[in-house]
Structure 1
Amino acid sequence: MTSWIFDDTPIDDPFGYGERAVQFLRLLKHPKSTLPNLAFDLSPWQERIVRAIYGPRHPDGRRIIRTVAMLLPRGNRKTSLGAALALLHTIGPESVPHGESMVAASDRSQARIAYAEAYSIIEAEARFYGKLRLTDSKNRIQNPKKGSFFEAISADARTAHGHTPVFALVDELHAWPKRDLWEAIKSGLVKVPNSLLMVISTAGRGQENLAFEFYDYARKVARGEVIDPTWLPVLFETPRDADWQDEAVWYAANPGLAYGYPDIAGLRQLAREAAEIPAERSAFQQLNLNMWLDGSADPFVDMMVYDEGSFPVDLDALEGQPCWLGVDLSSTTDLTCIVAAWRNGEDGFIVHPWFFCPEERLRERGERDKVSYPLWAEQDLITPTPGNVVDFRYVEDQIREICARFNVREIAFDPHLARNTLNTLLDEGLPAVEMRQGWITMAPAVKELERAIVGRRFIHGGHAVLRWNFENIVIEIDKAGNKSFHKGKSREKIDGAVATAMAVARCAAGDSGVSSYETFEGDIEEWSYV
């Protein structure tokens, strides 16, 4: 997807604006440059990108490219390039009267880095003294002659609206805590003609986040699945199944390596440490090779393997087939989930979830958890219930509907929060059972689920919320080697994965009423069957 950057094919430049942009950057200086007279070091691969952004034009001179999606590992001087382009729009030939250029980052310190980079470029060139107004306390560089200015802002700022940028550089999108500033920038860019959005970031984690949405669209454009000539994808990323220790892979992901940056000796040292320390390995893969990893640093299963089970689930075809339910009822902030499991052959499983969350402050909860609950609600992937906690009456009604439609053999609950619901369903003659979420019951359930996923015998329909729950799992292992699910962080949700393990375990046990906990290595003291 980046071959055009290196193949010397012609880049359209009918008005010479691409050449003009390159010449402006070459006139800049950088205090850390090793070139004569501290000349700004514009590597050939960077020059090709600049020409691809600013060269192609409509007949009236408007730029064709309006969005640049660049994925670059650390150390490839993306901040320097972005800061120089911000100056191109502030004091260079792309500046317009009273035009606003900005760099936006996840927090104040990150935004300050890009501003400081632009500031250092200006300081290195004596010609700029007296011609620009630098307000360091506000992270602002102003061109009084045109009234144009460049400012650094952050996603944690109290106010995000009121900006009308002609150029917006978004830095490290994968680290943004919420969408407010992103939406303000996007809406502001359309207010002015010929605006440009440039997003430069390293790879992130997980799929239910703003950065993955953005770069997934860029990948589709790069592959030709989406035709959007206004986008320029520049994606230096490493496939998950690549040999991360192969230096050829490093060079493919790091275009600057051929020009001496990042430091190859430093990468080799990081790789040696990564070979021995799993946490360091994940960091090396994500930050230095641009591998987009799972949400958890120590995932339950490889999510690429999990995704192989994304075949559609035909619920109509499953009517009449024996079915087992696992139910994980929430506390005040967690999700509630029902998962149904059916047999698929002798040793495979098909599952389908139903999720519930509190309706009150739905958007704020989504920002806290860094997912889009409102969108999931629109897509019927999750059911909001009135109030600030999940109303279990809605859950009970859903269970009744499932039992009326499918051949439900058991409904497994952890009795910790489910005593009233369990008793209500039992009084109605529904097959409710207790399944405590302790080591005795959950360790074999987790093992059964892991065997099914790794063995490619687990079909889940690609449900987005369920996938998010699975990628949040952190595994805890006891001294006997038994595994248990835990959250990576307090905000991360795994309720759907827990309910899935419960449903699969009861489905595996079948009609015998015997739990797969018989394989547990330890004392049996937590299982009860009602």
Structure 2
Amino acid sequence: MPKATQPYATAANRYARDVVRGKIAACSYVRQACGRHLNDLERSKSKDYPFRWDRQAAERICRFAANMVHVKGREWAGKKIALEPWQCFILAVAFGWVRKADALRRFREIYAEIPRKSGKSVLGACIGLYMFAADNEPGAEVYSGATSEKQAWEVFGPARQMCLKNPSFVSHFGIHVGAKNLHILDNASKFEPVIGKPGDGASPHCAIVDEYHEHQTPDLYDTMLTGMGARSQPMLAVITTAGVDTSGPCYAKRDEAVKVLEGTLENDQLFAIVFTIDEDDDWTEWPSWEKANPNLGVSVYPDFLQARRKEALQIASRQNILKCKHLNVWANAGSAWINMVKWNACRADVFLDDFAGEPCWIGVDLASKVDLTAMVLLFRRGDEFYLFGRHYLPEETVTLPENAHYQRWVAEGHLVATPGARTDYHYLMDDLLAYADRFSIRELAYDPREAEMLMQEIRERVSFSCIEINQSPAFISEPMKEFEALYLSGKLRHDGDPLLAWQAANVVLRSTRTKAYYPGKERAENKIDGIVAAIMALSRAMLHAEEPFVGMEVWD
């Protein structure tokens, strides 16, 4: 098929070029997604590169979607879908790349993070219907998965309505439209919603996971993914907005997607795109809202977004949730203290071993023996500080069904699970003594609560000073303000520890009538111990800096 008759494939490539050239305002992740596609087009010219972009396959999925009809909205209902360039790009790239060896699809997973009111459900419905009816897969099983029946129907409902409003499509493929499913008798294909964890007997050809940020565990995602083993070219599509729980499976998948886009992780089967703002963008300015919303002026109206922006500016308690839903900025708390875009920008390619022999300050926040215990190491190089966390939790707490995030962090090496039902502080002691051999520890700062017996033992075994830190607002306010200034200026560096990042997102700023800061949290399960330990360590490091920071004299 000549290029002149492939308008959608052409539109996808034009969108990618326009984004990369700066003609279309887009965040770094969208630019990276477009750059990845364009770079792969160049690489595909080499016989050694295993993939090629099949323009006909790209065109086919887009033409299919454009023959579906809208089912919602006074302005759109009943009209055929007019794909926007960014939608062409997602479909044409995710479905157009194939393996040179056998022409099977390259991408098996889609992670698309898109703000509210941008047509996520329509996009998901089109993908689901295509995989159900038009992908030439006998016995195709397609599922719309979610944590509730209402959410599962957010994709399946529009797909079912599209069938009802498109009788020629239904007739052509022999689709039976049931009350709660779609099926094709001739080849035993089906499309239906699924809630929670599905049975292990499923063999999905496609799964659409809508609003993955609402999932507390990866059970549905993992079951769908592992069930695809018997399919030659399945697709698992996550189409979601940002969420308010960075400990959940969606944020972990997002982290993987970002690493693929940045080029630090290789996964040729994952197509990823994230519409959001950049770390240097001022979220209060209108251009930031334009950048994050690819369907602005189409399915989301400027006056609606302007109203949300004004609401966020005027009502502090609404800022984070509005930034989350309309700018795709992740945050844990309704009044979170730490800007996670700025926090993530402080990530550095460093390892603890890089600091062997260097001066070190340690903060320890000992929880009750059934809760999270944190030890944070802090180093200074010039005007920059580097944080490394070490965390401990009883094994019996880790293995509780609701603690999938802790289980993941144990597997990844970010959390130490001590045997039994109570934290064994000897694990912390052993680590501390090992650190004393590797680094020049100047001081250890600790919260006296829960700590006296352990600190007495530590004092008997180490040569450095152990300093009790009063955590009242009068004493912790200035160190918190210095911590805030450092991370906002990019001078408080960390290694990307997801457990420490989760706690950073959990911290809620509290203040007294005299405007003194102190850290808080909205829920008991939103741990902040690692950040408190980091603030304590920073307070001591500041005291011993060659040029002390203003306000630290209260810690003398």
TM class by shorter chain equals: 0.7 to 0.9
CA contact (8 A) 2:58 2:93 kept: yes
Distance 1:224 1:399 in 2: 35
Q: Tell me the residue number matched to 1:63.
A: 105
Counterpart position of 1:277: 315
- State the partner residue of 1:357: 393
Q: Normalising by the residue count of structure 2, what TM-score does the alignment of the two structures yield?
A: 0.78
Please say if residues 476 and 484 of structure 1, whose CA atoms lie closer than 8 Å, have aligned partners that are also in contact. yes
Corresponding residue of 2:207:
168
Output aligned runs, 1:468-479, within 5 Å: 468-479=502-513
Q: Does 1:425 align with 2:458?
A: yes
In structure 2, the residue corresponding to 1:145 is in which secondary structure? coil
Q: 1:357 to 1:17 in 2, by over 3 A?
A: same
SS of equivalent to 1:70? strand
TM-score (normalizing by structure 1)? 0.81
Question: 1 CA distance for matches of 2:443 and 2:269?
Answer: 54
Q: 2 CA distance for matches of 1:403 and 1:16?
A: 63
Residue 433 of structure 1 deviates from its aligned partner by: 4.3
1:325-364 alignment, distance < 5 Å: 325-342=362-379, 344=381, 349-360=385-396, 362-364=398-400
User: Which residue of structure 2 lines up, in the alignment, with residue 214 of structure 1?
Assistant: 253
Deviations 1:393-424 (A, max 9, x none): 22233334444555545443333212222333
1:312 aligned to 2:350?
Answer: yes
Supply the AA of the counterpart residue of 2:322. Answer: F
Q: Does 1:289 find its partner at 2:327?
A: yes
Deviates more, 1:448-457 or 1:102-111: 448-457
* Pair 1:77–1:393, CA change in 2 (3 A): same
Aligned partner of 1:466 in structure 2 is 500
Of 525, 533, 537, which residue of structure 2 is paired with 1:491?
Answer: 525
**1:113 corresponds to 2:154:** yes
Higher alpha-carbon deviation: 210-219 or 260-269: 210-219
Q: Percent identity?
A: 24
1:42 aligns with 2:79: no
CA-based RMSD of the aligned residues comes to 3.8
Write the distance in 2 (CA, Å) between the matches of 1:39 and 1:28.
8
Residues 313, 350 of structure 1: 8 Å contact kept? no
AA aligned opposite 1:182: Y
Distance in 2, matches of 1:261 and 1:459, equals: 40
For residues 271 and 264 of structure 1, what CA distance do their matches in structure 2 show? 10
CA distance in structure 2 between the aligned counterparts of 1:285 and 1:87, rounded to whole angstroms: 32
Q: Tell me, what secondary structure is at the counterpart of 1:6? A: helix
Residue 389 in structure 1 maps to residue 431 in structure 2: no
Specify which of 162, 169, 179 is matched with residue 218 of structure 2. 179
The number of aligned residues is 505
Q: 1:5/1:282 Cα in 2 relative to 1: closer, same or farther (>3 Å)?
A: farther
AA matched with 1:293? W
CA change 1:484–1:314 in 2 (3 A) is same
Unaligned segments of structure 1, at least 5 residues: 521-526
> For residue 354 of structure 1, what is the amino acid of its counterpart?
R
Structure 1 pair 329/147, CA: closer, same or farther in 2 (3 Å)?
same
- Distance in 1, matches of 2:53 and 2:451, equals 67
- The structural deviation recorded for 1:149 is 0.5
Task: Tell me what 1:377 maps to.
Answer: 410
Instruction: Indicate the larger mover: 391-400 or 4-13.
Output: 4-13
Query: Computing the radius of gyration over CA atoms, which structure comes out larger, 1 or 2?
Result: 1
CA distance in 2, matches of 1:231, 1:316: 32
CA contact (8 A) 1:350 1:458 kept: yes
Aligned to 2:184: 143
Cα 1:107–1:333 shift into 2, 3 Å: farther
C-alpha offsets along residues 173-207 of structure 1, whole Å, 9 cap, x if unaligned?
22221111111111112321121222211234576
State how far apart, in whole Å, the 2-side matches of 1:48 and 1:305 are: 29
For 2:229, give the aligned amino acid. V
CA pair 390-249 structure 1, distance change in 2 beyond 3 A: same
